Amino acid sequence: MNKYITTPIYYVNGEAHIGHAYTTFIADAMARYEKLKGHKTYFLTGTDEHGQKIEESAKKSGKPTQEFADEISASFKNLWDEFEISYDKFIRTTDKDHMLGVQKAFEVMHAKGDIYKDFYEGHYCVSCETFFPETQLVDGEFCPDCGKPTNVVKEESYFFRLSKYEDALLEHYEQNPDFILPRSRANEVKNFVKSGLRDLSVTRTSFTWGVPIPESINDKEHVMYVWLDALMNYVTALGYGKDDVNMEFWPASMQLVGKDILRFHAIYWPAFLMSLDLPLPKHIGAHGWWTRDGEKMSKSKGNVISPREVANAYGVENLRYFMLREVPFGQDGDFSQRALIERINSELSNDLGNLLNRIIGMSGKYSEYEIDSKDVEKYHRNELDAMNKALANLDDFMQNMQTHRYLEELWKLFTIGNKAIEEHAPWTKMKEDKKDEALATVALVANILAKASIMLSPVMPKTTVTIADALNFTIDNASYNELIIDRKLLKLFNIKKVPPLFPRVEEPLMPEAPEAQPNKPEEETKEELEQDNLIEIGQFFETSLKVGHIVQAEEVPKSKKLLKLQVDLGESRTRQVIAGIKEFYSAESLVGTQVCVVANLKPAKLMGMISEGMLLAAKDEDGLCLVRPEKPKKAGTPIG
């Protein structure tokens, strides 16, 4: 069985950060896991190097665009090589073969009638490389995705008939409920499609840094728009566009993306493939974002995490384990040194490292480092059954991207091993002249360590090689089949001494993130207070604040921040309030709760919807929380 696993191709407008590393670690672990099982596997990563943003970033750096792209692309590749990422190909969208493949796809779509020429006028966000209709903008100007101002652009463009594939996409989602993982993210995609798809601009004339449209079209002013160019990398990497190519690894088994680019991969990409008569990928997996100590990372705050810095301080294998264990796939995660140190000391050092050290010590003392599994089944049937049950659960977790559950389940083996040592006390058995029982317990734990190291190897490949070497076997498909699938035990062998795998970390090894808001001197604070826009009490009472009861809540399609609420203020009808709190509250959690509402605001239009009030909330470095009555009050009760 062939397996094809991809990361997104990373945009070369900046150095790799911890989010890039997270995506790549997941993909690498999945690729290693499939290879361990004996599947023929192809793992793709790379860089996205075209578009207006790259052209502008190069100009700011004072470098030719290609040179700028070369440097940033090399920084990604070098980092993945340092981290020993097991990719099979590192693709660049400036590669000649890729560009030829994209031109071939354009020709096929054009000949099919799925690409046509027209004029486009609309609001364009340079940061997101996306056009938005005015009804989707925030305050008629700002991008609904990133919040930055948009520019009105009018230019000639070629369009892809995205609207043609609306029904086919919805049908595919219904027939393949695991197409988007986690499943919880599928609804936002479905709702976007159900709201109506507009044809997609796929070329530009306002910049030149991109793939020219094919010479057969005879329109030299146009270059292909970044999403058509970028998304095609997944098939051009396999040879699409070449004569008589056999793309044996397509369709992809898993395509990993960040949640911010899910729409492009779950809507545009499958529509392009339908147009090209190519099969769709099996799964699109969308992961969340990472914060640092609860704070959103940004260059201005100085709290962006360099994965190289963390790896140099704590070890890349420890970083891999932490990131894949810390957060459920699809949810946002938080990086903190405290949490990383806790997992290193508790789970890696205590649970795993100490268990190996204890077995090495006891085998040296009781049997001159010789371990024989001949009596394990006789004395430890219960422990073997519990171990095999946990091992049998692992595949489902990995296939569903639940690496945190995979590692959580795998760690049950070390609990079984440590508990067996305490309960059966080999040192006591030796004193009681029950050497066979004592050595059976040592052999049980050695087998637990061997089987666990095989299944841990996709996550911590170098560490598990050390464990396997100590136990005198090799981690590969043969040992996977023998010890995991066939449930056999290790044969007679001599264990080796190894240095401690995970030395304890007593204090942070990196500088902490800077304070989000440094304390100001008292004099400065006083001066600010005197200059503040103070109001009279009468002005305050001009504001009508009321207790509201939320009777209905739903997400606003295409918006990362907005929820649409129906709020009872004790009036003849409910009020519709559009609130930017989606990052902190789910729609379901708000229904039936009470809030404080500014009730006499002039109605405003947000993303084409009327908002008839504003919720009171407090926000600081720990996030946002709604201001609520201490005790339930009647809807419409005045506040003041």
CATH code of the domain in which 599 resides:
2.40.50.140
Q: Final residue of a domain: which of 433, 462, 494?
A: 494
364 plus 475 within the same structural domain: yes
Q: Is residue 295 part of a domain?
A: no
Q: Final residue of a domain: which of 437, 461, 494?
A: 494
Query: For residue 224, which phi and psi values (nearest 5 degrees)?
Result: -75, 140
Q: Is the peptide bond before 64 cis (omega within 30 degrees of 0)?
A: no
The residue type found at 384 is L
What are the structure tokens assigned to 12, written together?
Answer: 């070369």
Q: Is 596 annotated as a binding residue?
A: no
490 plus 341 within the same structural domain: yes
- Domain with 465, as residue range(s), is 335-494
Q: Is residue 548 part of a domain?
A: yes
Residues 102 and 117: their CA atoms lie apart, in Å, by 18
* Nearest alpha carbon to residue 304 among 318, 315, 289: 289
Residues 620 and 639: their CA atoms lie apart, in Å, by 23
Q: Is residue 21 part of a domain?
A: no
Looking at residue 526, its pLDDT comes to: 39
Q: Is residue 624 part of a domain?
A: yes
Q: Is 125 annotated as a binding residue?
A: yes
The residue type found at 385 is D
Task: Report which secondary-structure segment, H or E, holds 35.
Answer: helix 18-36
CB 120 within 8 A of CB 153: yes
Per DSSP (E only), the strands in 480-593 are 493-494, 545-555, 563-568, 575-579
Q: Is residue 143 part of a domain?
A: no
Q: Is 146 annotated as a binding residue?
A: yes
Report the chain's terminal Cα–Cα distance, integer Å: 68
Looking at residue 530, its pLDDT comes to: 40
CB 323 within 8 A of CB 310: no
Tell the burial category of 123 from Cβ atoms under 10 Å away from its Cβ (0-12, 13-18, 19+). buried
CB 199 within 8 A of CB 163: yes
CB 247 within 8 A of CB 8: no
Q: Is residue 531 part of a domain?
A: no
Beta bridge partner(s), residue 625? 618
Residues 139 and 329: their CA atoms lie apart, in Å, by 33
Q: Is residue 289 part of a domain?
A: no
Q: Provide the CATH number for the domain around residue 451.
A: 1.10.730.10
For residues 603-636, one letter each, b for 16 or more C-beta atoms within 10 angstroms of the residue's C-beta and e for the rest, the string is eeebbeeebbbbbebeeeeeeeebebeeeebebe
Q: Final residue of a domain: which of 434, 463, 494?
A: 494
452 plus 559 within the same structural domain: no
What are the structure tokens assigned to 135, written together?
Answer: 């009804």
CB 194 within 8 A of CB 155: no
- Please tell me the pTM assigned to this model: 0.78
Tell the burial category of 95 from Cβ atoms under 10 Å away from its Cβ (0-12, 13-18, 19+). middle
581 plus 437 within the same structural domain: no
Q: Is residue 592 part of a domain?
A: yes
352 plus 448 within the same structural domain: yes
Looking at residue 584, its pLDDT comes to: 82
Residues 156 and 169: their CA atoms lie apart, in Å, by 28
Tell the burial category of 416 from Cβ atoms under 10 Å away from its Cβ (0-12, 13-18, 19+). buried
The domain total for the chain is 2
387 plus 458 within the same structural domain: yes
CB 159 within 8 A of CB 196: no
372 plus 483 within the same structural domain: yes
362 plus 465 within the same structural domain: yes
CA atoms within 13 A on the CB side of 288: 19
481 plus 550 within the same structural domain: no
343 plus 476 within the same structural domain: yes
549 plus 450 within the same structural domain: no
Residues 346 and 344: their CA atoms lie apart, in Å, by 6
Residues 498 and 468: their CA atoms lie apart, in Å, by 11
Average pLDDT across each block of 10 residues of the chain; the chain has 640 residues. List them in order: 96 89 98 98 96 88 93 96 98 96 97 93 79 79 85 88 98 97 92 94 88 91 88 97 90 96 96 98 96 81 89 98 95 94 97 97 97 97 98 96 97 97 97 97 98 98 98 98 98 95 95 60 40 48 82 85 90 89 85 89 80 88 81 83
Residues 522 and 116: their CA atoms lie apart, in Å, by 64
Looking at residue 534, its pLDDT comes to: 53
557 plus 467 within the same structural domain: no
- β-pairing, 2-6 vs 254-258, is parallel
Residues 178 and 172: their CA atoms lie apart, in Å, by 10
Residues 614 and 633: their CA atoms lie apart, in Å, by 18
